[in-house]
A and B are shown apart, each in its own frame.
Chain A
Amino acid sequence: MAIDQQELGRRLREARDACGLTQEEVAEDLGVSRATVAQIELGNRSVSGLELSKLAYLYARDIQDFVAPNFGEDDVVHALFRSGAEAGGDGVKLALRDCIALGRELSKLEDLLKISRSASTVASYPFPLPKSKWEAIQNGAQVAIEERRRLGLGSAPVGDPVGLLEGQGVRTGIVLMLSEVSGLMISHPKVGLFIVVNSDHGPVRQRFSWCHEYCHVLLDRGSRGLVSRVSERDDLREVRGNSFAANFLMPEDGLRQFIGSLGKGATSRIHAEVFDESGVVPVDSRTEPGTQEIQLYDVVQVAHFLGVSVLSGLYRLLNLKLITEPEFSRMKELDQEGTSLRLAKLLALPPVERVDHAAEFSRRFLGLALEALRRELISRSKFVELAQQVGASQEDAVELIASAGLDAAELCRRKW
């Protein structure tokens, strides 16, 4: 039996409250007066299909939740919404709405096509929450090494982190958020695993953020959702995420090899004893003074090779004791003065390109939607709506259907 209008109103009010939205804000989005929203919530005014669709999007809920026999709070969504609200960022809320809506549609497509989400190959590491920053750093480094090994990356640079994520069934998105938010991770039974990074940040920072959020997927997905903010960088999960990202993007072996290829990084004095079954031959070697000192132009090349910022590279070199504290401070200062940029230009190093991450997600999304259309599991009109959700125009969507050979231009095949 269908729920009545009063119950629908009550559910809509509950969902709005859980998202921390006012009736005025909802009215503005819906294009009605605040009084109308109030009447809807009191059950005194009916809700049209279009209005319910808009409200479901606004409250990041599935439209079917509102008319189902039972209605409960979506803990994940609402915790994230509250978290987003605390950050004072409409961008975070908008990102959440878009990602949750897209994730839900993708999950529905997967269900229609009988694609098991357990086919997702992303790993899970059962590390408990670290008790100290040191433990967090160690955990992050350890998981980065394990993960590189699992993915067969060896000591090579991480090419395209978005492709790496999407290839494992992790959904990716990029949305404009407050500058202090670098990204967020959603782990929701109906939305799937979703990583979003801030479109306002440069490509190098975004690469770091993808990897940082990837760590949350690997280690913190039990939290269901996390928003990463600069102001919370001391949080132990954030420390662990940063350690993971640094180790994942800048593996020690790969970094040492690259530095070695520049003729740097060897210790100033090497002593070895070679045993030949009858005696020992001591071997001593000393590098020329000053020849092994890593310079900013070396770091610029390292950073470019690994797709990280010069500052990230400097910290990593310091942690690996390849540079000293005074060297680090000197080069950091030069970097902040813009010397790194000038050096990169003089060395003809091309800037790290912005990855068209949206295309990665859209490709899979539209591919599944086309397959569902071909199998007549969704209608053409639904396909157009789905294509519009990933930014395609109505014309593009229609053209895509035609190009895929799924256009039924002929009317009259049926009886009337």
Chain B
Amino acid sequence: MPEEVVAEVLNPEQEEELSEALGAGILIQESITETAELELFAGFTSSLGKGESACLAMAQQRGWLVASDEGGAFRREAEARLGIGRIINTPGLFLMAIRAGILSVEQADEAKEILERQRFRMRFRSFRELTGGS
């Protein structure tokens, strides 16, 4: 997670959860270090937020995936820079975790319910539908 994204998390509850995840090594904080990344970052900030710009600059330069639920300008820029295959969203992350055996379908569905209570709707009832019933 780029430090620019970490700086955008201002909600105290989310800040604490993020801090715990970083502390436990579940997430790793990364910084832009190369000037080539800085150049990309600076260019993206004209139309994207600093966190988004950092994500895209790092992903493009390091060949990484970008995890984001944003549509619009960010999605378009990310697709143009990285290609559709290197952008993953929240349901996609869960699906990846299920397929890797890190999460069970039940655990993912539980998380889905929590997200939906916070206005993140997903147009399927269960992750089972996406895993082909596995």
Contacts and interface: CB of A to CB of B under 8 A. Distances in A.
B16 interface: no
A52 B42 contact: yes
B90 interface: yes
A287 interface: no
A5 B45 contact: no
Contact of B3 (A48, A112, A415): A48
B123 interface: yes
A150 interface: no
B49 A384 contact: yes
A380 B72 CA distance: 8
Contacts of A50: 3-4, 7, 50
A281 interface: no
Contact of A414 (B3, B41, B89): B89
Contact of A379 (B33, B37, B74, B121): B74
B123 A413 contact: yes
A254 to B, nearest CB: 46
B39 A2 contact: yes
Interface centre among B45, B69, B74, B119 (most CB of A within 10 A): B45
Contacts of B50: 49-50, 53, 381, 385
Contact of A411 (B51, B52, B90): B90
Nearest to A407: B119
A372 B70 CA distance: 16
B48 interface: yes
Interface string A395-408: 00000000000001
B8 A381 contact: yes
A60 to B, nearest CB: 16
Interface size class of A (residues with CB under 8 A): 35 or more
B10 A381 contact: no
B120 interface: yes
Nearest to A62: B42
Contact of B121 (A5, A108, A409): A409
B35 A411 contact: no
Contact of A376 (B36, B73, B91, B121): B73
B72 to A, nearest CB: 4
B121 A8 contact: no
Contact of A381 (B34, B49, B76): B49
Interface in B48-66: 48-54, 57
Contacts of A412: 89, 91, 121-124
Contact of B53 (A49, A410, A416): A49
A67 interface: yes
A378 B48 contact: yes
A392 interface: no
A38 interface: no
Contacts of B37: 49
B134 interface: no
A408 B7 CA distance: 23
A112 B46 CA distance: 9
Nearest to B88: A416
B31 interface: yes
B4 A63 contact: no
Contact of B89 (A64, A394, A416): A416
A206 B76 CA distance: 45
B83 interface: no
A377 interface: yes
B43 interface: yes
Nearest to B75: A414
Contact of A64 (B42, B48, B71): B42
Contacts of A408: 71-72
Interface of A: 2-5, 8, 46-50, 52-53, 63-64, 66-67, 108, 112, 372-373, 376-382, 384-385, 394, 408-416
